[in-house]
Amino acid sequence: MTGPEPAASPAASGPGAADPAGEAGPLLTATGLSVGFRVGSPAMARRRNEEWILRAVDGVDMTIERGEALALVGESGSGKSTLARALTGLVPLNAGEIRLSGRVLSGRRSRADQRRIQMVFQDPYSSLNPRLTVSSILHELLRVHDIVPRAEVESYSRELLGLVGLTDDALHAYPRQFSGGQRQRVAIARALALRPDLLVADEPVSALDVSVQATILNLLQELRGSLGLTLLLISHNLAVVRHLCDRVAVMYLGRIIEVATTEQLFTAPAHPYTRGLLAAIPRMTASTADEAPAVVGDPPSPLRIPAGCRFRTRCPIAQDICSREDPMLTAAPGQPGHTAACHFAFGEAPPAAAAASSAGLKEEPSPSQS
């Protein structure tokens, strides 16, 4: 392999330790990423007045800093999982490039590059091979990637399990012998075994019961502290995001529409979709059942992405300009870290905002009316 890949130095770093290469600049930069899937045939698509290519990720730029926890949030169909898979190299890119520590990752990743971004999947029941014991899962991985000398594979495996809070007994057990939370720990150990630079966790707690979710969230928190792990967390649960992450990127129909620190996003969301998303979350305090819904209507089909701003069909403040011009991600004045893709994100609200908002509600009958 080429590049300054630090060969496994068993003495130097424990499991999951970050790349000691220590370059300045972000860990990962993605520019103009697009991922599309063909759906049906061109003729069929024309007849239905739809597009042939489903643009799951449609021109995404993002950066992930070393050691941070970045959240990617959005509803189903927003493209957040596809983006995560594209970063991990599990789906091919249609356009764009991904740089890891400044070096472009090629379309066919070398084994060394594959190692550097690892993923934890949502469902720990289907992501572990049911016919392999934990030790065979780990041993296979460690052999293929040659992480530690053969003699140390066993002790390294134990160390990994200790890291995720499992005892040595777990080594010789099959996945079916574990509970959901324990399986997710095994999945995390498997991802950390390769000492990745970036851990991508796709809805890691969504399949777990509430009381078990907390153990996995606490584990991820601990690992961030002890290993300096860089984490990309994909989640639809904003409470989880607020608890665990430093920055948040919000996706809607294949685009990132707002990026901000967690604090900024939850206290001063700039994009109308983000505001709606936050308002839609059920809270433990005071019922708000009398108000109108936070966001009206259904998201459009990704095969019929609206022209102009993608959110305008559901937006309470949509104006004429929104159907003509596709807003780019622009930074808030004085806050380069807070960007949003809305014509009215940081400026003054549009003059007819109030009128437009009630008109917008009338177009799509909302449950609170009639």
Asked if 364 contacts 297 with a C-beta cutoff of 8 angstroms, the reply is yes
Classify strands 247-252 and 230-235 as parallel, antiparallel or unpaired. Answer: unpaired
C-beta closer to other proteins: residue 2 or 287: 287
Classify strands 117-120 and 198-202 as parallel, antiparallel or unpaired. Answer: parallel
User: Alpha-carbon distance 289 to 280, whole Å?
Assistant: 11
9 is a site residue for other proteins (CB under 8 A):
no
DSSP label at 233?
E
200 is a site residue for other proteins (CB under 8 A):
no
C-beta closer to other proteins: residue 212 or 303: 212
Q: Return the H-helix or E-strand segment holding 252.
A: strand 247-252
**Chosen residue from 95, 239, 328, 352 binding other proteins by CB under 8 A:** 239
- Here's the x/- map for other proteins, 289-328, by CB under 8 A: it reads as xxxxxxxx-xx-----------------------------
49 is a site residue for other proteins (CB under 8 A):
no
211 is a site residue for other proteins (CB under 8 A):
yes
The phi, psi pair for 185, rounded to 5°, reads: -65, -40
358 is a site residue for other proteins (CB under 8 A):
no
275 is a site residue for other proteins (CB under 8 A):
no
Asked if 187 contacts 126 with a C-beta cutoff of 8 angstroms, the reply is no
Q: What is the 3-state secondary structure (H, E, C) of 28-45?
A: EEEEEEEEEEECCCHHHH
Classify strands 117-120 and 28-38 as parallel, antiparallel or unpaired. Answer: unpaired
- Here's the x/- map for other proteins, 242-261, by CB under 8 A: it reads as xx------------------
**Chosen residue from 49, 108, 283, 334 binding other proteins by CB under 8 A:** 283
225 is a site residue for other proteins (CB under 8 A):
no
- Angstrom distances, CA of residue 196 to CA of 82, 96, 115: 20, 23, 6
360 is a site residue for other proteins (CB under 8 A):
no
Q: Which residues bind other proteins (CB under 8 A)?
A: 75-76, 179, 209-215, 217-218, 221, 236-240, 242-243, 266, 276-285, 287-296, 298-299, 364-368, 370
